[in-house]
Amino acid sequence: MKGKTVFLSLLAIVLAMVLILAPACSSKTTTSASTPQVLRINLGGEPDTIDPNQAAWAPDLTLIGQCFEGLLSFKTDGTLTPDIATVIPSTSNGGISSDGLTITFHLKTNVTWSDGTPVTANDFVYSIVREVSPVLACPYASFYFNIVGAQAYYSSGNDTPDQQAALAAAVGVSAPDNYTLVIKLNSPQETILDCMALWAVYPEKASVINQYGNSWTDPPNYIGDGPYILTTWTHQTELVLKPNPNYWGTKPKLAEIDMMEITDANAALAAYLNNQLDIVGVPIGDIKTYMNDSSYANQRLLVNQLGTFALQFNVDQAPFNNVLVRQAFACAIDRNAFVSDVLDGVGKVTTSWIPPGMPGYDANAGSQYAFNVTKAKQLLAQAGYSDVSKLPAITYTYANDTNDTTIAQFLQGQLKTNLGINITLNPEESNTFQSNVNAGNFQFAWFGWLADYPDPDDWLLSEFTTGGGVNQTHYSNPSFDTLAKTAETDLDNTTRLSDWAQAQTMMLADVPLAPIYNSETFALVKPWVKGLDASDIDYSIPGDRFYTLVSIASH
Amino acid sequence: MTRFVIRRVLWLLLVLLIISLVTFLLMHLVPGGPWAKGKPLPPAVIAAINAKYGLNKPLYIQYAKYLWGILHGDLGISYSYQDRSVTQIIMQSFPKSAILGGIAFILALIVGISLGMAAALRQNTWVDYVCVMFSTIFASVPGFVLGILLVIVFSVILHWLPSGGWGTPSDLVLPVIALAALPAAYIARITRASTLETIRQDYVRTARSKGLLERNVLIRHILRNALIPVVTISGPEFAALVTGSFIVETIFSIPGIGRLFVSSVFARDYGLIMGTTLFYAFIISVANLVVDILYAVIDPRIRYD
């Protein structure tokens, strides 16, 4: 009797589990006659913010780019094209004054918000002033410090509200009429046009933000002027976008974009394999499998990024205060082995800091310090270290995630094998690592830069001028500073780019950093995704600047 | 009993205050800040961000402002999810972890107690061996192995169930199993051990010898007494399950609070660290209080005066 009871209860449990599982089993994928025009992608997590002024994180831009449009935008080749502006301002069309200090944008008159009201120059004035407001402390505000009064307003965080209001009113942007926007600069700047094409100064609708405060980004409050509108935001799960019925431009082909928020790269890959996603980035551990498996041949997509990764040296700390030691280290790293061993082939070796695909790119830049063990040893000998045991202790500091640990071990092996130098590895929790590098508490470390906009001044100015905003190597060279100063305010593109090229050559000869590789995106795309226009200006997902062109074929 | 509960609630408030202070000090001792993520930022921007969040003020002022906010029901702002307040974030993510954890808890109790009882009552038979084998396997397989295994088998190979997500009941199946496996195995082992001890007690022999129905002996005398250790562990176990698991929520893309708790630390999201830690402490304290009250209900020998 007793045995039977127990056995029956066990059976009941098993049955219960089958019942739970059964309805799910029947819901297999079905193919319908008309293919739903839905694109499903993975943002990789919950956006930090989808407020264009405050955004900085690439996946957030993937979303913002669908819902907003600015004065200008980038084409796949990195050049500018007018969006809401009628033309790109230039000195010849009068958009840029002869002294280069006044930029005038004329706006199209048929552009509307997703609620049907017109987009005017005042929306841009509001957005630009808001971008440099101390209350929001927007991360990209420094890109607009050349606008008259912008930096003073941004840095007034400890002032009274009255003082702040006066500073806000003094910011040099104005709208003489509804379709004219005038921007006053402190000094001439060719790349201000690139900056005006960034998400950070997309127009924002003041009435919506004033009414809803922080929750203006919740649908349906999220009013934009782009081809799509955000209809649902299920936090930490997904964002759903539908075409904007009031969009002024060419209507998108897709009826819906689903942006999933799967944080784990392997979980995203599983979702792709289970047909829950149409595009997925391949996680580092799986690259070889999908690179070689012929059944994925029609799904593979390899796209260049405007990104360079490098070994950076703190030029204040021994032994890297000696340029010869830095040069020797640059020559000691086998970049081909790096790309094949660490990156599984996804990436391209480089010695240039400015990546290919950018104006001013020179494939030969820095090539004198390409991988060359003999030269590395000679340079060390010249530095007085023919006996490497005389070198001071050297520590490589890195963020303790999987990728950076692999990189650290590779570099340690290279320096040991090629030069006989033993370095100590110092893994730090990622945020700690970042702040230590910012503070100059490191000897040498890994450094990567991805373009904000395709121009060399984004790669050289604040990174390598003396006291520059993100100069982590503490590199300082007066000749470089002079060149950078000239190029920064030069409105002639030919001389400007040649100055930057010369500046890069000068910097690379001093090796504050040793470029190792240019990054690439390796993704899988379902064969039914048509019209994807992937390029090196993608935000975070292949083709995400041009989803209006995408359609879904029957499958 | 009432006095006991009141005393415990007062203690709870003190515990929360101490936890808030320790967490606050610890998180500010750790180097880094909310601005040290992604691209390096120029000093002017870092200064503006510090001013915006009041991080340029002395620590005791920051802490006092935080406590003042809590007294007004405001858990502060999140630095990593700027479009929502900490209270909103917790209110949106906790129910999901709680639903998932609640179902997993019930499943673990049913499976664990059944297996444990079955094993004990049929000691040294195949039933016992199977139950012990089950509990040993699931007690030793970590959640991330089991979770990934479930995804590979049921999503990637068989395409029966979604590999992750939230919204439909089918999304729940795999994460619930992954979450319930370990506590079920644990509960099974404890139930088995305590049942074995109970059936050898004099009062069980007495009950049998006075001719009670075997069903009554089982339920009223064995089960009830054998369950006390299970109740002891089920309090913390329940709290752990409903507050979410970082691993399971990451594998199955569950929009729960477990992931936020961990990621907030890495992001130096001071507001969210404080909010989630205090919330955790609150749930665990309450669960323990409920367990202490349940003791008295199950075992009349236990009294609180």
Q: Which tens digit of pLDDT belongs to each residue from A521-542?
A: 999 999 999 999 999 999 999 9
Q: Give the pLDDT score at A9.
A: 44
Mean pLDDT of B36-44: 83
Of A246 and B261, the one with more pLDDT: A246
Q: State the smallest CA–CA distance between residue A263 and chain B in angstroms.
A: 7
Two tokens at B176? 């619930």
The pLDDT, as a whole number, for residue A443 is: 96
Q: Using the 8-state DSSP alphabet, how is residue A354 labeled?
A: S
Judge whether residue A10 has pLDDT over 90.
Answer: no
Are A52 and A197 a contacting pair, CB within 8 Å?
no
| B76: confidence class by pLDDT, cuts 50, 70, 90 | confident
d(CA B124, CA B196): 12
**Residues of chain A found within 8 Å of residue B115, distances taken between Cβ atoms:** 10
- pLDDT at residue A513 tops 50: yes
With CA atoms as reference, report the closest residue to A258 among A249, A271, A248, A267.
A271
HEC readout, A282-333: CCHHHHHHHHHCHHHCCCEEEEEEEEEEEEEECCCCCCCCCHHHHHHHHHCC
Beta strands in B34-84 (DSSP E): none
Q: Of the candidates B86, B83, B19, which has an alpha carbon nearest to the alpha carbon of residue B275?
A: B86
Instruction: Give the pLDDT mean for A12-39.
Output: 52
d(CA B207, CA B220): 10
What are A54-106's pLDDT values in tens digits?
999 999 999 999 999 999 999 999 999 999 999 999 999 999 999 999 999 99
Q: Give me the pLDDT at residue A254, please.
A: 96
Per the CB < 8 Å rule, is B250 touching A46?
Answer: no
A90: helix, coil or strand? coil
Residue A135: helix, strand or coil by DSSP?
Answer: coil
Where are the strands (E) in A115-211, listed by range? 173-177, 180-184
Angle CA A391–A429–A464, to nearest 5 = 60
State residue A26's pLDDT score.
37
Nearest CB among B37, B48, B155 relative to A270 is that of B155
CB-nearest to B161 from A24, A141, A470 is A24
| Residue A351 tokens, joined | 């010695």
Q: How far is the C-alpha of B196 from the C-alpha of A414, rounded, in Å?
A: 61
Q: What is the pLDDT of residue A332?
A: 96
Residue of A76, A88, A77, A120 whose CA lies nearest to A191? A88
Query: Does residue A445 have a pLDDT over 50?
Result: yes
Model pLDDT for residues A132-188, shown as the tens digit of each residue: 999 999 999 999 999 999 999 999 988 999 999 999 999 999 999 999 999 999 999
Three-state SS at A467 = coil
Q: What are the angstrom distances between the C-alpha of A3 and each of A33, B120, B127, B213? A: 55, 12, 9, 15
Chain B hits for A435, CB-CB cut-off 8 Å, are 31-33, 36
Task: Check whether B145 has a pLDDT greater than 50.
Answer: yes
Of the candidates B114, B122, B218, the beta carbon closest to that of A3 is on B122
Rounded CA gap, A405 and A427, in Å?
8
**Any CB–CB contact under 8 A between A18 and chain B?**
no
Query: B86-121 and B228-242 are packed helices; what angle lies between their axes, rounded to 10 degrees?
Result: 150
Chain B residues within 8 A of A469 when measuring between CB atoms: 41-45
Identity of the residue in A56, A217, A238 whose CB atom sits nearest the CB atom of B83: A217
Copy the structure tokens of residue B280: 């955790």
What is the per-residue pLDDT across A259-311, written as a single tens digit (0 to 9) for each?
Answer: 999 988 999 999 999 999 999 999 988 999 999 999 999 999 999 999 999 99
Q: What is the pLDDT of residues B7-18, one digit of tens each?
A: 888 988 999 999
Structure tokens at A511: 């090796």
pLDDT, tens digit (0-9, with 9 covering 90-100), for A203-221 = 999 999 999 998 899 999 9
- Residues of chain B with Cβ-Cβ distance to A264 below 8 Å are 250-251, 253
CA angle A96, A98, A104 (to 5 degrees): 20
What percent of chain A shows pLDDT beyond 70?
94
For B154-167, what is the mean pLDDT? 87
Question: What is the distance, to the nearest Å, from the Cα of residue A64 to the centroid of all Cα atoms in its chain?
Answer: 13
Contact assessment for residue A288 and residue A340, using Cβ atoms and an 8 Å cutoff: no
| Contact criterion met (CB < 8 Å) for A134 and B48 | yes
**A1 interaction partners in chain B (CB closer than 8 Å):** 214
Give the model's pLDDT for residue A433.
Answer: 92
CB-CB contact of A524 with A290 (8 Å): yes
- How many angstroms separate the CA of residue B234 from the nearest CA in chain A? 20
Mutate to test the interface with B, among A1, A435, A473 (most CBs of B within 10 A): A435
Chain B contact probe: residue of A264, A289, A426 with most B CBs at under 10 A: A264
Task: Identify the pLDDT of residue B200.
Answer: 87
User: Residue A309's beta-bridge partner residues?
Assistant: A448, A517
Interval A235-241 mean pLDDT: 93
Q: What 3-state DSSP class applies to A68?
A: coil
Work out the end-to-end distance of chain B between its first and last CA atoms, rounded to an integer number of angstroms.
Answer: 6
Instruction: Looking at the complex, report in whole angstroms how far the Cα of residue B38 sits from the nearest Cα belonging to chain A.
Output: 8
DSSP bridge partners of A424: A395
pLDDT digits (tens, 9 = 90+) for A71-85: 999 999 999 999 999
Report the pLDDT value the prediction gives residue B293, as an integer from 0 to 100: 83
Supply the pLDDT for residue B305: 61
Bridge-based pairing state of the strands A173-177 and A348-349? unpaired
Number of Cβ atoms within 10 Å of the Cβ of A323: 16
Which one of A21, A238, A435 has the shortest CB-CB distance to B173? A21
Indicate if the pLDDT at residue A314 is higher than 90.
yes
Q: Where are the beta strands (DSSP E) in A19-60?
A: 38-42
CA distances from A512 to A328, A330, A456, A477, A501 (A): 12, 10, 17, 11, 16
Query: With contacts defined as CB-CB under 8 Å, which chain A residues touch B268?
Result: 431
The complex scores an ipTM of: 0.84
Q: What's chain A's average pLDDT?
A: 92
Task: Report the alpha-carbon distance of residue A331 to residue A354 in Å, rounded.
Answer: 19
- Helix, strand, or coil (residue B25): helix
What integer pLDDT is reported at residue B30 of this predicted model?
86
Q: Which residues of B touch A215 (CB under 8 A)?
A: 83-84
Whether chain B has a CB inside 8 Å of the CB on A519: the answer is: no
The size of the A-B interface in CB pairs under 8 A is 200
Q: Which residue of B has its CA nearest to A23?
A: B170
Q: Answer yes or no: is pLDDT of A24 > 70.
A: no
- Nearest-Cα residue of chain A relative to residue B264: A431
Q: What is the mean pLDDT of chain B?
A: 88
Contacts of A49 in chain B (CB under 8 A): 81-83
- DSSP E strands in A380-470: the ranges are 395-399, 424-428, 444-450
CA–CA min distance B286, chain A (Å): 27
Q: What angle do the packed helices A2-26 and B86-121 form, to 10 degrees? A: 140
Give the per-residue pLDDT at A33: 52
CA count, 13 A, side-chain hemisphere, A437: 34
**Residue for token pair 């004099």:** B202
CA of B100 vs chain A CAs: smallest distance (Å): 14
Query: Maximum Cα–Cα distance for chain B, whole Å?
Result: 85
Q: CB–CB of A179/A216 below 8 Å? A: no
- Say if the Cβ atoms of B266 and A51 lie within 8 Å: no
pLDDT above 90 as % of chain A: 87
pLDDT, mean of residues B205-213: 86
Instruction: Judge whether residue A250 has pLDDT over 80.
Output: yes
Residue A145 and residue B44: Cβ atoms within 8 Å?
Answer: yes
Single out the residue of A454, A359, A382, A376 nearest to residue A419, CA to CA: A376
Q: Looking at the predicted structure, is the pLDDT value of residue A27 above 60? A: no
Whether the predicted pLDDT of A18 surpasses 50: no
